[in-house]
Structure formats: C-alpha cells, structure tokens
Amino acid sequence: MPDKIAVENVNVPGQVTNVDRTKYEAMKAAMLKTLPKASPGMTAKESKEAAKPHLPDDLFPGGATSGWWQKCVQLDLEAKGLVIREDTKPLRFYHFERHKTLPHGS
C-alpha cells in the first residue's frame, strides 16, 4: 500500500482526505517553486502549466492527472495558510512565505 498523507480542504473545514504522499509532495514542490510570492499571483490554470515542467515524468507522464493534483495541493496549502487566494475573477493564488522572526537583540 502506498504511503499516504492527510490533506485538508479550505472549502470544507474539518474534512481530511488521505492521498498518495509521493505525488502530493512532488506537486507541492513544483507549485511552491513556481507560484509568485506576492499579488497578483497566478490563475489555477497558469499554476498548473507552470508546475508541469517541474513534475517527475514517472509520476505524471506527459502531465497526466496534474490538474487534479494541482487542485488537491492548492486547497490543502490554502487551508494551511501557505497559499493565498485572491478575490478576483478568475481566482488568483500566490505563495505566502512565513518568515522567521529573530529574537530581540539579534
């Protein structure tokens, strides 16, 4: 049985689904590498297309199923506060990086 990871859905608080960890982690890395770190962000379609070249071909041959995985990871990262959804039409997303705060006197 493949290794699983629990993912959240920003649209359905409290719902957790277990998905393939390897595909999730590959898409997450590709998305965080390609999503802008500030507004105006990218549309979901732009994000999917930008991520495709960074996905392992053995997991996503020819980009197969990348749309489903992009949406799965996007919703999970939104729930975790790592991706911000802008209130635009079409919706746009960007990667919110949390910066470590230095202790006083550093």
State the pLDDT confidence band at 99, using cuts at 50, 70 and 90: low
The secondary structure of residue 56, as a DSSP letter, is -
Rounded to two decimals, the pTM is: 0.88
Picking from 45, 46, 39, 55, the residue whose alpha carbon sits closest to that of residue 87 is 39
State the pLDDT confidence band at 46, using cuts at 50, 70 and 90: very high
At 10 the pLDDT is 95
Backbone phi and psi for residue 21, each to the nearest 5 degrees, phi listed first: -65, -40
Distance of CA 61 to the CA centre of its chain: 19
